[in-house]
Structure 1
Amino acid sequence: MKQTKKPFILGIGGTTSPSSSTEVALAISLQAAEAAGAETELFGSDRLMALPHYRSDPAGLNQTGKDLVELVRRADGFLISSPGYHGTISGLVKNAIDYIEETSTDDRVYLDGLPIGLIVTAYGWQAVGSTLAALRSIVHALRGWPTPLGVGINASGGIFSQGICTDESVNDQLKMVAQQVMLRAEAR
């Protein structure tokens, strides 16, 4: 019997706080991917803050940057979660995405052909929409495939607390975006 490899799904995102709605939403989605049979890893707030500003000089990468690049190379799919800051993605998340440039000369350039699920949290719908559009544009530029569902969450109502989301429709969307990533990752 042929042994199949579990897809590896990398979650990148959060804010400076591991208990932020952005990181909690990402963790919920990664748990759904794991329940569907994936191996997962969360590259969240602690590691995002340990990344220096990206510069295209491999000698300038610290260990956290090198680890991120290796995780990107290993990934069969991604979940990316950003807060909507002033109508677009946060600098912290964008900096991590910039490290994908280190794969520009790999056999698989950037995110070529990989499924990418997108999650945005913001304290208002306008920032949710524009941030989700910005993330989709970035994923396209990196040759990735954004999933049909992008999860936009207006977190102003306090639906995230102590690592859980109290809104079942949002939980369902977070699970669905993970399932869409998994379907495409397994098909590859």
Structure 2
Amino acid sequence: MIHDKPLIVGIGGTLRRGSSSERALAVSLKAAEDKGARTILLSGAELLLPMYMPGQQQSDQASRLLAALRECHGIIISSPAYHGSISGLIKNALDYAEELRADARAYLDGIPVGCIACAGGWQAVGQTLAALRTIAHSLRGWPTPLGAMLNTSTALFDAEGNCTDMATQRQLETVGHQVIDFVRVQGLGRQRAPSIPADATVEP
């Protein structure tokens, strides 16, 4: 049974506090909260992890990340575009999902994944969004139909982190809404799925 308040984990940002990708992630998580989700935002220094190596002893930060990934019902990832793809900080954090390979729910199997890409131009932001979706697929997650693309060549947030562009705000809120909606649709599907007897035959 899915918790009445599903947990959505946000992973994103840079080591610079208040980066566009961190602020964008916060907007999407707030939209999920407004629809009844619990949220955790992991950003900045919380993602400053040792380079992932299978079998290594986990740091406290890595253990927290893995615990959040194991508990969550959905994820939102927000990355800046670094040379046409996601940042090393975000990629390394996602590499830690390899530690979930032997779990009952392997990797991010069946989990909705909202994707947000931020860049100073449309070419880089498009490539970065595609990379995020590819990674989500590789980890067996379900990227949401809408992925948010933010061209940060113009200011999109004020000093308090509020989004100042209505179209951008709608994109980010839609990503958060789609993640929580997908979680709830999954829950309804599991509740309503009919059981089929082992000896049942299928009519041609």
In the alignment, structure 1 segments of 5+ residues that lack a partner are: none
Cα pair distance change 1:29/1:3, threshold 3 Å: closer
Match of 2:138 in 1: 141
Distance 1:58 1:70, change over 3 A: farther
Residue 176 of structure 1 aligns with which residue?
174
Residue 81 (structure 2) pairs with residue 107 (structure 1): no
| Larger of the two Rg values belongs to structure | 2
Higher normalized helix content (fraction of residues): 1
| Residue 125 (structure 2) aligns with | 128
Residues 1-188 of structure 1: pairs in structure 2 closer than 5 A: 5-49=4-48, 51-59=49-57, 61-162=58-159, 163-188=161-186
How many equivalent pairs are there? 185
Query: Which digits, 9 at most, give the CA deviation of each residue in 1:163-186, with x for residues without a partner?
Result: 111101100110011110011111
In structure 2, relative to structure 1, the CA distance for the partners of 1:57 and 1:150 (3 Å cut) is same
Which of the pair is proportionally richer in strand? 1
Aligned partners of 1:18 and 1:24 also within 8 Å: no
- Per-residue CA deviation, residues 10-59 of structure 1 (Å, 9 max, x unaligned), is 0000011121000000001101100110000000112012x111111242
Aligned to 2:116, the other structure's residue is in SS state strand
* SS of match in other structure, 1:118: strand
Q: Label 1:64 to 1:4 Cα distance change in 2 as closer, same or farther (>3 A).
A: closer
Instruction: Provide the TM-score with structure 2 as the length reference.
Output: 0.88
Secondary structure in 1 matching 2:153:
helix
- Structure 1 consecutive aligned stretches of length 4 or more whose deviation exceeds 3 Å: none
Contact 1:11–1:79, Cα closer than 8 Å, also in 2: yes
3-state SS of 2:78 partner: strand
For residues 61-112 of structure 1, give each alpha carbon's deviation from its aligned partner in whole angstroms, at most 9, with x where no partner exists. 1000011001000010000000011000000000110011110000000010
Give the TM-score, by structure 1 length: 0.95
Specify the SS of the correspondent of 1:113. Answer: coil
